[in-house]
Structures are given as structure tokens and as C-alpha cells.
Chains A and B, each alone.
Chain A
Amino acid sequence: MFQVRMHGRGGQGVVTGAEMLSVAAFLGGKHAQAFPSFGSERTGAPVVAFCRIADTPIRLREPIVAPDALIIQDPTLLHQVDVFAGLRRDGYILINTAKSFAQLGLGEFVKGFHPERLLTVPATDLAVKHVGRPLPNAALLGAFAALGGQISLDAVCRAIESRFDEKVARGNVAAAKEAYEIVREEERLAETHHA
């Protein structure tokens, strides 16, 4: 079982992001379970949503306390919520920001992690560019498709299309695709660098 925890703020589409992630996993033939951690439900308040992905039916109903991957939609949460709680050392971190981990002040913290499992993507910028609104969830799922290998970009696009009307879906699909390409390009550069 692969467990993803998503952190964001009310109004950023965190819950929708987790739901679309579960749909993408389902479209890829997996079992998936997405659910929100309901809190105060106010715009701007910290929000957590969860998604489990597995090859067999999922019965477990507890919140995800030891995630395999974190998707952080809002980097300002880094100083407010213990977003890294329980994260495995071999886990994945995807942060919505134009900065690097070092620039976020996380250089020391991520030292023991696999560098190829750490990623930042300017998802809000991509959303503004393609959707016209600062809703980064679709772009982050596109990046996640390139990062974790749990879902395909095609499944992400189809999950987005099943969720929104045609116009909104088109923008979000474009944001997801560009985020995916950004990650792929970075991976190519990293490989060249190693070589």
C-alpha cells in the first residue's frame, strides 16, 4: 500500500486533489481510498487530505500517520503545521513552490532522503497560467505522476476531465501536463549530470 498525505489551505482544492488522485489510481486499475481530515473548514485554514493506493481492497480507515509521500500545496504551512510528521526516510516530498529545498530552509532536514524523491514545482504559477486561478492541485498531480510512478499522466488527465466541466478541465489538464514535463526535464538533466 502506498499512502499519500496532502497539506494545503482551505480553498486550494486539497480535498479535490486527493479525490482526483484516487480516481487516477482507480483508472490505472488500482484500489484507492481518498478522504479528508475535516477541521474548521475555513478558507485559508490548514487542511489535510489523504489518499491510499493499493493492489487489493483497502479496509483501513485511520488517518495516514506514516505517509510514503507528501504533497504540500502551500509552502507557508512549513512553519505552521508539522507537515513532515511520520514521513518515511525513503518517502517522497512534492512542494508547490518556485524555490528549492535549500531556499526553503529544508536543506539540512532532507539530507537523509533520496534526492530523486524530492521535488518542488511552481504549481500555483502553472495554474494561474493555464486555469486563470491559483488552484495548484491538478498541476501537482501532474508532477506526482512523474515522481512517484503510482499513477500515469494519462490517468491524471482523465481524472481531471471527470471532475470539471470541459473548459476548466482543459486548463487543468494543460497545467498537469506542463508540471509533468518540468519534472521529466529535471530528471533528464539530473541523469546527464550524473553521466
Chain B
Amino acid sequence: MLEQCEGSHAVAHAVALCRPEVICAYPISPQTHIVEGLGEMVKSGVLEPCEFINVESEFAAMSVAIGASAAGARAYTATASQGLLFMAEAVYNASGLGLPIVMTVANRAIGAPINIWNDHTDSMAMRDAGWIQLFAESNQEALDLHVQAFRIAEELSLPVMVCMDGFILTHAFERVDLPEQAQVDRFLPRYTPRQVLDPNEPVSIGAMVGPEAFTEVRYLAHAKQLQALQLMPLVAGEFRQVFGRDAGGLISSYRTQDAETIVVALGSVLGTIKDTVDELRDSGLRIGALGITSFRPFPIAALRAALIHASRIVVVEKCFAVGIGGIVSRDVRMALRDRPQPVNTVVAGLGGRAITKSSLHQLFIDAMADKLEPLTFLDLDWGIVNRVLERERTTRRSGPVAEGVLRDIGMVASRIG
């Protein structure tokens, strides 16, 4: 059924159709509308049987999800930003224990400075935590990925994080096709756990493992992610059969067939990138875009096949590793490790900075003229940066950086574009 609704509403609806039995969450922007919507559905009886548990923190949210999942329940939670960091220890435990929890991360920057807006720093901080990480390009895809996430998680006994851009997607009203309950039921079978805390057949989950077998247990976690690389395209294929549309899989390519330059990105910025690609194609330039849907496991072979014929790769990423540069681009480099193509890193959209078509247009023109540095910060205002550096050079007590910058630019609120 077609509906014009908020991204958070669409995701809450999709999660409800997956019949979760335990939902626990702690509110944090921009995720809150999702669990609010689910809470309403549980309270009104639309979603049942399901227990909605209010917890006192994100750490408790993930801990409750772990307990519920270990007891055999289909468990769901959602968070963002500092909330994801606060649950970090439990995030590692969920994957280490092999519990198929599904969690939405409404991507948001990490402080300090505190910032409620979108970038990918939160999910990236958990990229090595052993979860599958899927990134949605649109609200339709966010909705569809949640349905696939439960299926993938439970088939592998591995937790899945569905990442969607905070505000840009969660708070955007757009057209979505909401599936029917019967379709979801056909696609997503009842959860049959590989391991379960059952008083009739007692087991323990969470043994201490010493040096004698820790490496092997960890390797098995890696092996499971490699299995996911095989499974996800099959799940996407089955999804297409049941729901009649493409979603999920490992990567998505756009006009890359004969492209000399391929732009790689994750999430909602792909839409703006595709529009820019169309503009440049109209002027005869051979450029394409490639979206990474599955960031973990990282689809090295699929990327290699898709990128190998391009002469340059530009990775636009909403995150960066302070002190070195790109995060996504280093992984992309792994896919082309023995190849000569340059892989340029472009850091963009940090803390909600708008990524505009005009900035991307110029960026790609520069890239195609081989004018990009290995590491570029899109639309970085050097005037602001140099002023602070100069102050710090000349004044010992230069004061807090963030406050100094805001004073320099004479504003507190954000701008239109």
C-alpha cells in the first residue's frame, strides 16, 4: 500500500510487520519517533504479542535485547549517536554471543562538540563490533532492509544493524510502499533459535574462553560474516520475488558500466550523487555511482568486480578517522589493493553539513581532472580553521575551540544550505 509518511513511521510499521516479541529502547534523537511509533502499536494492541520495555539507558536497552534474544524472543531496539556508544560493551556481546537482534541506528554525529545532526560516525565506531551493518539510501530501502534484517539475522544467528541517515531519512516525508502482513509472513518464517535459554533443556550462554580457543571462536564470527556475503544476495532475490522490488544485497551500481570515474558512498547521499552523475553524463562525462549497502560484512569481491574497470574511484564518506582520514575508502582500497587506480577520500556532510549537488558537481569535475588530494574535506571553510590555528599559535590560553569558532563566525544557529 502506497503511503506518504515519515521515514520513522515507515520503519516502525515495517518492524511491527516482522512481529517482534520484545522491543526495548531509550529515547535519543533522531531515533525516537521509531520506538514511539512501536510503543503506540504495542499499547493499542495492534502489535501483539509483544512486550515493550522502557529501560533506563542504552546500555540497558541492549542488555535487555540480549536477554530477550537468548530466551528465544525476536528482539528489536533502536538508537543513535552517543546512545550507541553508551551501549558499546553490550553491542560487542550481542554479536559475540551470536544473538540475532535487529537494531536501527538513526545515524547522528558523535560529540564533543555536541551535535544532533546526521553523519556516520556512530555506526562507524561499531564497524568492528561483529554486527552486520546495512545502510539505507531511501525510506523505502530502510523499510525493506528491516524486513530483510530479521531474516538474515535469524538465519545466521548474528545481529544486524540497519543504518539510516538521521533527520535526512528519519524525519523526511516521502512515498513508501508498505508491505502487507501476509507478504512479510511469507518472507520471514517464525524464529527458530540455534541456542535458547530453556529451563527444560538447560544450557549456559556466554562461557569464558581462554587462549586455548578464543582465536577459533573469533574466527568463527568472521566465518559467519563471510557466510552473510553469500546469503544476502539470495535474501534480496527472494525479497524481490515476494515484494516485487529491489532492495538489499551487497552493493548497488548506477551508470557504472562504462564509467571512468566511480563515486562510492553509503546511505541517503547516494540520491544527490546520482542526480549529479546524471548532470555530468548529460555533458558527456563517463561517471557512475556505487552504493555500499552492506558495509559489514564488507563485500570486497563484489566491489572489486564493479570497480576494477574504472580509472579512478572517489569515496564520499560521512565520517573520518581522526589522524589518518577515510574509513570507507581504506576498505575500498582493500578491494583494489593490487590495482593502480587512485582511491580518493572525500569527507562530507559531517554533523549535518548539507552535501549539495553544486559542491558535488565541482568535486567530481576536479576528480576527473586528477586535481583531488588523497584526502579532501568537502566545503571546509579554511578561513575558520586558520583563524583558530593562528589564535592557538599566538595565545597560550586560547580557550575552548568550539566556542571560539562560534564566536568567530558570529552565529549559533545553522544556516539554510
| Chain A residue with Cβ nearest B6 | A19
Say whether A36 contacts B171, CB under 8 Å: yes
Say whether A37 contacts B172, CB under 8 Å: no
CA distance A40 to B412 in the complex (A): 9
Residues of chain A from 79 to 121 with CB closer than 8 A to chain B in the complex: 82, 85-86
> Distance (Å) between the CB of A33 and the closest chain B CB?
5
Per-position binary interface string of chain A over residues 44-68, scored 1 when its CB falls under 8 Å from any chain B CB and 0 otherwise = 0110100000000111111111000
Q: Does A172 interact with chain B (Cβ within 8 Å)?
A: no
> Distance (Å) between the CB of B176 and the closest chain A CB?
10
> Distance (Å) between the CB of B350 and the closest chain A CB?
15
Q: Which of B173, B274, B354 contacts A33 (CB 8 A)?
A: B173
Q: Does B17 interact with chain A (Cβ within 8 Å)?
A: no
CA distance A46 to B172 in the complex (A): 19
CA distance A18 to B6 in the complex (A): 12
Say whether A62 contacts B357, CB under 8 Å: yes
| Chain B residue with Cβ nearest A35 | B172
Q: Does B117 interact with chain A (Cβ within 8 Å)?
A: yes
Q: Does A149 interact with chain B (Cβ within 8 Å)?
A: no
CA distance A85 to B4 in the complex (A): 28
Given the known A-B contacts A38-B117, A40-B412, A46-B413, are A33 and B174 also in contact in the complex, defined by CB atoms under 8 Å?
Answer: yes
Given the known A-B contacts A32-B4, A59-B271, are A37 and B173 also in contact in the complex, defined by CB atoms under 8 Å?
Answer: no
Residues of chain A from 16 to 42 with CB closer than 8 A to chain B in the complex: 18-19, 22-23, 25-27, 31-40
Say whether A26 contacts B4, CB under 8 Å: yes
- Residues on B with C-beta less than 8 A from A46 are 413
Say whether B269 contacts A65, CB under 8 Å: no
Per-position binary interface string of chain B over residues 397-417, scored 1 when its CB falls under 8 Å from any chain A CB and 0 otherwise = 000000000000000111011
CA distance A46 to B175 in the complex (A): 28
Given the known A-B contacts A46-B413, A85-B416, are A62 and B172 also in contact in the complex, defined by CB atoms under 8 Å?
Answer: no
Q: Which of A22, A26, A45, A85 contacts B413 (CB 8 A)?
A: A45
| Chain B residue with Cβ nearest A33 | B174
Say whether B268 contacts A61, CB under 8 Å: yes
CA distance A27 to B175 in the complex (A): 10
For A33, A62, A85, A86, which residue has the most chain B Cβ atoms within 10 angstroms?
A62
CA distance A64 to B172 in the complex (A): 14
Residues of chain B from 240 to 281 with CB closer than 8 A to chain A in the complex: 268-272, 274-275
Q: Does B372 interact with chain A (Cβ within 8 Å)?
A: no
For A38, A82, A85, which residue has the most chain B Cβ atoms within 10 angstroms?
A38
Q: Does B42 interact with chain A (Cβ within 8 Å)?
A: no
Given the known A-B contacts A26-B4, A39-B414, A63-B354, are A19 and B272 also in contact in the complex, defined by CB atoms under 8 Å?
Answer: no
Say whether B174 contacts A59, CB under 8 Å: no
- Residues on B with C-beta less than 8 A from A57 are 175
Say whether B413 contacts A40, CB under 8 Å: yes
> Distance (Å) between the CB of B25 and the closest chain A CB?
21
Q: Does B126 interact with chain A (Cβ within 8 Å)?
A: no
| Chain A residue with Cβ nearest B30 | A38
| Chain B residue with Cβ nearest A24 | B4
Q: Does B101 interact with chain A (Cβ within 8 Å)?
A: no
Say whether A62 contacts B417, CB under 8 Å: yes
What 11 new A-B contacts, CB under 8 Å, besides A37-B416, A62-B357?
A22-B173, A22-B174, A33-B174, A34-B172, A35-B168, A36-B167, A37-B414, A38-B117, A40-B413, A59-B270, A59-B272
